[in-house]
Amino acid sequence: MHPSARWMLGMNIETDFRPGSPVTFEGHYMGREFADWGTVVAVERPRLLHFTHFSPTMGLPDVPQSYHDIAITLEPDDSGTLVRVVERNIETAERAERAHALWTKALATLAGHD
């Protein structure tokens, strides 16, 4: 595992962070290897990373309507930095709850609270 992958729950992420460029997500989750992909939508350093995400494990066709739309924003805050993750186009409430739990865990790890 790449050392910087620790906060993303062991996921290696590869991209050049240019809008329109591919982004890949690889790793192991719940004992299974996975390889997901998407596209960088926008980058506004140091405040915004916006990308799409598709996982074959969702069992959906690889079409634009099946991709999650994820925006991570960073905003200065009196106590440090506010990190906001907005993930759209999640198919079910159950998957939305799972995504929320995973992002909560990833951000807690990033903050050193894991």
At residue 28, the pLDDT reads 81
At residue 3, the pLDDT reads 57
Residue 16: phi, psi to the nearest 5?
Answer: -100, 5
Residue 4: phi, psi to the nearest 5?
Answer: -75, -10
At residue 112, the pLDDT reads 79
72 pLDDT higher than 80: yes
**Residues 84, 72: contact at Cβ < 8 Å?**
yes
The per-residue b/e assignment along 54-74, b for 16 or more CB within 10 angstroms, e otherwise, is: bbeebeeeeeeebbbbbebee
Whether the full predicted model's pTM is greater than 0.75, yes or no, is: yes
| pLDDT, tens only, 27-65 | 887 788 999 999 999 999 999 999 999 999 899 999 999
At residue 42, the pLDDT reads 98
| pLDDT, tens only, 78-114 | 999 999 999 999 999 999 999 999 899 888 888 877 6
At residue 49, the pLDDT reads 95
Domain definitions of the chain by residue range: 3-110
7 pLDDT higher than 70: no
Which residues have a Cβ under 8 Å from the Cβ of 55 and sit 6 or more positions away?
25, 34, 36
The string of DSSP letters for 76-98 reads EETTEEEEEEEEE--SSHHHHHH
| H/E run at residue 40 | strand 32-44
User: In CATH terms, is domain 3-110 a member of 3.30.450.20?
Assistant: no
At residue 5, the pLDDT reads 60
